[in-house]
Amino acid sequence: MNLKVILASASPRRRELLNMIAIEHDVIPAAIDESSRAGEAPIVYAERLAREKGAAVARCHAGALVISADTVVVIDDRVLGKPRDALQATAMLQVLSGRTHVVHTAVAVTRDGGQTVASAVESAQVTFRALTDHEIASYISTGEPMDKAGAYGIQGYGATIVERVDGDFFAVMGLPLRRCVDLLERLGVAYEFRALESAEAR
């Protein structure tokens, strides 16, 4: 991949996932208004934000390929964003406890300063085991829930409270890799497998 790649996200999980499949990139988070619109469906909202994040960064980096994403957690037709505080995180986890919810992660690939874009949404169903109040409080005390949609992260302590995932696991983490590669190829950018640099070589 000869193009410069920019990840338009401050998420360390998304950066780790791109590193995992050896896509070298810079990180330039997008600053946009992330408010939802009246009557906007969650899946539409996620894809719009992913596209707007990519466009915002691409306008300032016309020669780069920009990867952007947005994740929403939905239960009972309600979108659970990032909790404002521990009280809100507690309320979210109580709602999710013992139930199945949906995670939508939209990913967009943008190039030519925003003139060319491809995007898609990958969804997965996530089932939580039943949680006690003590377990919820203990999990929140780790700090992990505070910067994540739905107040949990499946790649960390949250892995112990998730009973089942039906769908793309990486969509739940925040960046569906297969879909991302599909979009790259749709824009004429071939993904190439290459050996990861070993720790010894570094």
* Catalytic-role residue among 26, 33, 70, 85: 70
Residue 47 CA, chain-centre distance (Å), reads 11
For residue 164, CA distances in Å to 47, 103, 137, 169, 170 come to 25, 13, 22, 10, 14
User: What is the C-alpha separation between 147 and 55, in angstroms, rounded?
Assistant: 23
Is 70 part of the annotated catalytic residue set?
Answer: yes
Among candidates 58, 56, 92, which has minimal Cα distance to 76?
A: 92
Give me the torsion for CA of 175, 176, 177, 182, rounded to 10°. -120
At residue 8, what are phi and psi to the nearest 5 degrees?
-90, 55
- Using a 10 angstrom Cβ sphere, with 0-12 exposed, 13-18 middle and 19 or more buried, the burial of residue 171 is buried
Give the helix ranges, DSSP H, for the chain.
12-20, 42-58, 86-96, 133-141, 169-173, 177-186
Catalytic residue numbers? 70
